[in-house]
Amino acid sequence: MKNQQFKTIDMVILIVMLVALGGVSLGIIRHSRSQDPASQVLRMAENISSQLLNLDRKKFHSHLGNLSLGERVPSSSAQKNRSFRLGSEGVIGEDPWGQPFEYRFIEDSKGQWTYLIVWSKGPDNVATKPISEWTNDFLVTQNYTNDRHEVRMGDDFGLIYSLNLSR
């Protein structure tokens, strides 16, 4: 059997491959970190919305529902040794600027939930239009009648879900 040797060309090829692999890895890391804030907010709001929509609605409708950590709570809100107070509106999670997301279930004139809003007030933490002022009529006139809408007002970002139960 012939004695195999590690030649200079083999070393050069190995170094070039390692540098290329390092460059690709660095590019992937930079891309994931440089994701624009709007995309980050919408992805985070999507996760929070999913958590809120999957909780037991009876606990929300009581407006007094306190969940202990032994019960199912949104992972965005779970903290050690604390209860999570549920209501038709509140704050939950944290946006890319370190501020809590606001959420609100909007009711129609019959008291039925028609929309869920999950909202970030953006980097200045000042709402362009506070979600406490949003009504069912306002959302209908804005044509938010399909399932999901990504919305930006000024530097505020969020998601609006239509909860039309007649479908």
How far apart are the two ends of the chain, measured CA to CA in Å? 75
Q: Which stretches in the chain have pLDDT values below 70?
A: 1-6, 29-35, 56-86, 165-167
Residue 107: strand, helix, or coil: strand
- pLDDT value of residue 32: 56
| Sign, CA torsion 47/53/58/61 | positive
Whether 116 contacts 49, CB under 8 Å: yes
Instruction: Taking the CA atoms of 112, 115, 121 and 126 in sequence, report the sign of the dihedral they define.
Output: negative
Give me the pLDDT at residue 39, please. 86
Q: State the pLDDT at residue 58.
A: 63
Other CB atoms within 10 A of residue 159 CB: 22
Res 14: pLDDT: 82
Domain layout of the chain by residue ranges: 36-162
Give the pLDDT confidence score for residue 60 in this predicted structure: 57
Q: What is the pLDDT of residue 123?
A: 92
pLDDT of residue 68: 43
